[in-house]
């Protein structure tokens, strides 16, 4: 039996400063989770928590985990030390104020984690980071200017490991193609089942993620035009049903 975490990155919409994905996307996600009794982890920018506190208070009340995805979705490897400190400390401050607890988890926007940021996470009592996607050939195609960073991620460990005392890396699962929304958009269900079979054969702990905007129509997105978000929703439903038979869904903090 594998332990599987279903996670979502919550941020402004792709190619737009709007938040349609936060409102409409999450409203499409929650019924799927409820039907299959899944408690998920929502990596959320602190500005979005500040803008829509009622959504995240409700998610917390339902038993889902809320984690941090930066303050305003800036790449951390492009920031100075002071800017990194601000992003983390401001996020923690907003998190405590609205959700009345300390955040345990972090995922850097666009997987842009680096050693200085990890040290800041440690100093601010985070329990885990989930920014790396090892063995992933897709990521460099999206961020060719960050090839050096992506190569480090590619060759990083595929299992959970200790970074510092009490701070763990829990990487997103990948088998050349990452375990994210893209294969659910592209593959027909029978191919997706084979992909899942191979993925589980290489790791007994799986981490999946999608974005909130993956669940809405994106007029400026070529991917959404070619591979509809509606197909993603249908395949996610099938995947949750399929994986629930012999596996246990847990939040990231429970990994």
Other C-beta atoms closer than 10 Å to the C-beta of 174 total 24
Looking at the 3D structure of the chain, how many domains does it have? Answer: 1
CB 236 within 8 A of CB 2: no
What would the mean pLDDT of 44-52 be, rounded to a whole number? 97
Q: What is the pLDDT of residues 183-228, one digit of tens each?
A: 999 999 999 999 999 999 888 899 999 999 999 998 888 888 889 9
What would the mean pLDDT of 10-17 be, rounded to a whole number? 90
The pair of structure tokens assigned to 77 is: 């490897």
CATH number at residue 123: 3.20.20.370
Phi, psi of 105 (to 5 degrees): -120, 160
Q: 83: domain range?
A: 3-254
3-state SS, residue 131: coil
**Helical ranges in 100-228 per DSSP H:** 115-123, 139-142, 147-154, 181-186, 189-202, 222-226
- State the Cα–Cα distance between residues 60 and 41, nearest whole angstrom: 10
What would the mean pLDDT of 85-89 be, rounded to a whole number? 97
Q: What is the pLDDT of residues 90-134, one digit of tens each?
A: 999 999 999 999 999 999 999 999 999 999 999 999 999 999 999
CB 182 within 8 A of CB 231: no
Looking at the DSSP bridge assignments, the partners of residue 248 are 3
CB 4 within 8 A of CB 251: no
Other C-beta atoms closer than 10 Å to the C-beta of 126 total 23
pLDDT confidence tier of residue 85, bands split at 50, 70 and 90: very high
> Rounded to two decimals, what is the model's pTM?
0.96
Q: Which helix (H) or strand (E) is 7 found in, with range?
A: strand 3-10
Of 133, 129, 110, 102, the C-alpha closest to 118 is 129
pLDDT for position 123: 97
CB 102 within 8 A of CB 92: yes
CB 129 within 8 A of CB 118: yes
Residue with the larger pLDDT of the pair 242 and 202: 242
The pair of structure tokens assigned to 119 is: 């040290």
pLDDT of 236 > 90? The answer is: yes
- State the Cα–Cα distance between residues 124 and 23, nearest whole angstrom: 30
pLDDT for position 219: 84
């Amino acid at each position: 039996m594998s332990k599987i975490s279903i996670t979502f990155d919550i941020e402004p919409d792709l190619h737009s400063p709007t938040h349609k994905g936060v409102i409409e996307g999450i409203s499409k996600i929650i019924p799927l989770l409820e039907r299959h009794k899944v408690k998920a982890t929502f990596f959320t920018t602190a500005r979005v928590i500040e803008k829509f506190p009622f959504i995240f208070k409700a998610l917390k009340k339902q038993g889902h985990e809320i984690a941090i995805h930066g303050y305003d979705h800036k790449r951390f490897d492009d920031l100075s030390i002071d800017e990194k400190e601000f992003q983390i400390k401001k996020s923690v401050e907003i998190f405590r104020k609205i959700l009345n607890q300390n955040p345990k988890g972090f995922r850097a926007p666009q997987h842009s984690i680096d050693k200085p940021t990890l040290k800041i996470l440690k100093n601010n009592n985070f329990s885990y980071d989930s920014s790396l996607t090892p063995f992933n050939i897709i990521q460099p195609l999206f961020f060719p200017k960050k090839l050096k960073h992506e190569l480090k991620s590619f060759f990083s460990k595929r299992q959970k490991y200790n970074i510092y005392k009490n701070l763990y890396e829990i990487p997103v699962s990948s088998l050349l193609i990452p375990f994210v929304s893209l294969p659910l958009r592209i593959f027909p269900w029978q191919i997706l089942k084979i992909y899942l079979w191979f993925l589980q054969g290489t790791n007994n702990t799986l981490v999946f993620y999608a974005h909130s905007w993956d669940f809405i129509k994106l007029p400026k997105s070529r991917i959404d035009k070619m591979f509809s978000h509606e197909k993603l929703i249908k395949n996610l439903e099938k995947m949750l049903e399929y994986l629930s038979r012999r596996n246990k869904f847990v939040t990231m903090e429970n990994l």
